[in-house]
Amino acid sequence: MSSPLLPVVPVRLDLEMVAAASGVHPELLQRFVELGLVPASVDGTGRLWFTPAAPELVRRIVRLHADLSLNYTAVALVIDLLARIDVLESRRWVIRSGKETPSWR
């Protein structure tokens, strides 16, 4: 006997939850969304929804802006570069482990 398939509901957080988890005011979080720094989806009622990774991203944005005195355009660039570094480091790990042959060989 097979079990019925249940619909998968993605885990999502609303504006207030992300703001509280990241320690920022909801209006600042909304501004980050408007600037394209934090991705969010909008439902039919206009409510913003975020992935579980959003609070950490918001904390990183706040740290870069405050600690390094970067404007939000520079913060976006730094976050993009850090993401690219993460991808390259994970590819390097896969190549070194012998699970993949580098494309340049």
Write down the domain spans for the chain: 13-96
pLDDT at 82: 93
The string of pLDDT tens digits covering residues 25-51 is: 999 999 999 999 999 999 999 999 999
The CATH number of 13-96 is: 1.10.1660.10
For residue 18, pLDDT over 90 is answered with yes
For residue 68, pLDDT over 80 is answered with yes
Q: What is the DSSP string of 22-77?
A: HTS-HHHHHHHHHHTSS--EE-TTS-EEE-TTHHHHHHHHHHHHHHS---HHHHHH
Q: Evaluate whether 2 touches 42 at the Cβ level (below 8 Å).
A: no
pLDDT at 25: 98
For residue 1, pLDDT over 80 is answered with no
Report which residue type is found at 36.
G
pLDDT at 4: 75
Q: 96 or 10: whose pLDDT is higher? A: 96
For residue 67, pLDDT over 90 is answered with yes
pLDDT at 21: 95
pLDDT at 48: 96
